[in-house]
Amino acid sequence: MMLIRYLSQIGKYFLMWKEIFNKPTKWSVMKGLIFKEIDDLIIGSLGIAAFISFFVGGVVAIQTALNLTSPLIPKYLIGYATRQSIILEFAPTFISIIMAGKMGSFITSSIGTMRVTEQIDALEVMGVNSLNYLVFPKIIALLLYPFLIGISMFLGIFGGFCASVYGGFGSSANFIDGLQQDFIPFHITYAFIKTFIFAILLATIPSFHGYYMKGGALEVGKASTVAFVWTSVTIILLNYILTQLLLT
């Protein structure tokens, strides 16, 4: 029975995609909605993403430096390990999981509250395609999500640089040499491909759980939790699949 329920939910999720692009809202209205979502979801998340990236980059550099106990191991490996960790995994994947909590719960609770207070029913009565009105601006706004992850990458590496140089673990020349060592440009492409796919998940899975929830205020909280769990699980699963497809 549980399998059937999960399959039913997955089917409903893909049917939601079809409805999102039916009967679009007028551009004059949609433009304002998109800018509001950019402000709420992207601009509003810059602070937390920047703070976490900077300090996690520093921690990665310190942990790497502390494990380079042999004098035969070159110091530039601190910069190399920081770059690889931040670009390949931390910025695209772990910031996305954090954003599943921040953005995802915001999206689910805002749409869920509209469902509970019958605002979605009011939109439908007025002849507005509520899925297009509510979800489409979020998808468009989150197309700017790679910009957020680009800032996260930069600040993560900069945090590693500061921790390494000012913590006395190596010189700035060593760190920069490590950043340039064996650099593969496709790794940046790989990170942004993942980021783009995760952005679509961050916009649609929480929206799905908010839009189709039933009940009252208590259920809005439960829907936010379920949305966070499923968004995180899907991100981790797709991260594994995309890594297997793109890097092997």
Q: What would the mean pLDDT of 23-27 be, rounded to a whole number?
A: 82
pLDDT, greater one: 52 or 174: 52
Joined together, the tokens standing for residue 174 give 């060593």
Give percent of the chain with pLDDT exceeding 70. 100
pLDDT (mean) for 216-245: 90
The reported pTM is 0.89
Contacts of 74 (CB under 8 A, 6+ apart): 174
Instruction: Give the whole-angstrom CA distance, residue 113 versus residue 109.
Output: 6
23 by Cβ neighbours in 10 Å (0-12 / 13-18 / 19+) ranks as: exposed
Residue 215 has pLDDT above 90, yes or no: no
Give residue 125's pLDDT.
86
Contact 129, 30 (CB under 8 A): no
Q: How far apart are CA 80 and CA 64, in angstroms?
A: 10
Residue 168 and residue 93: Cα distance in Å, rounded? Answer: 30
Does the pLDDT value for residue 69 go beyond 80? no
Mean pLDDT of 213-220: 82
Statement: residue 217 has pLDDT above 90: no
> What average pLDDT does this structure show over 66-94?
85
| Type of residue numbered 223 | A
pLDDT greater than 90 at residue 97: yes
Torsions phi, psi for 32 (to 5 deg): -65, -40
Which two tokens mark 201? 């998940």
From the list 210, 75, 230, the residue with the least C-alpha distance to 134 is 210
- In the predicted model, is pLDDT for residue 150 greater than 90? yes
Checking if the pLDDT of 128 tops 90, the result is no
